[in-house]
Amino acid sequence: MRHPRRVVLDASAVVEWLLAREDKEVIDRLMGFSIIPVPSLTEALYIGSLAGHGLTEAELYNTLMVTGAQVEGVSDEDAIRAAELIAATRRSSSTQGRLSLGDGLTIAVAERLGLPITGGDQYWETLDLRTTYLPFR
């Protein structure tokens, strides 16, 4: 399943945009054709709320949806792939990082959709992904 001119956003990219941080303009150019997996959406909404954005989680959601971003659910296959990815980072002797549950699921969704993914975690470039990772920083 391919979506032309689409990109999957990690939670860090969505948070960057919601909180108008340094790289907001980079993410702003992607919002209209972005896909946000449910785990990334959930994380971005609670972080935005806790960071004192001033809007409720529902208002933050509506702000995101006005941009044209689409939300993508998680499949059973995504859960399996995410578990593989997370386990691989936990078994690794590398000190560069470990994937969280949300990270693993977001990557799995991007792989399933055959889309590139953007986020702020530099160590993702070292992972054996089945998609292209494009860090926004």
- Return the SS3 of 9: strand
Q: Which CATH number is correct for 7-132, 3.40.50.2300, 3.40.50.1010, 3.90.180.10, 2.60.40.10?
A: 3.40.50.1010
Helix, strand or coil for residue 128?
A: coil
pLDDT at 1: 45
pLDDT recorded at residue 95 = 59
Q: What's the pLDDT tens digit per position in 81-126? A: 999 999 998 887 665 778 999 999 999 999 999 999 999 988 898 8
Q: Quick one: pLDDT at residue 123? A: 85
Q: How much is the average pLDDT of 49-58? A: 88
Whether pTM exceeds 0.85: yes
Domain range list for the chain: 7-132
Tokens of 117: 């993914």
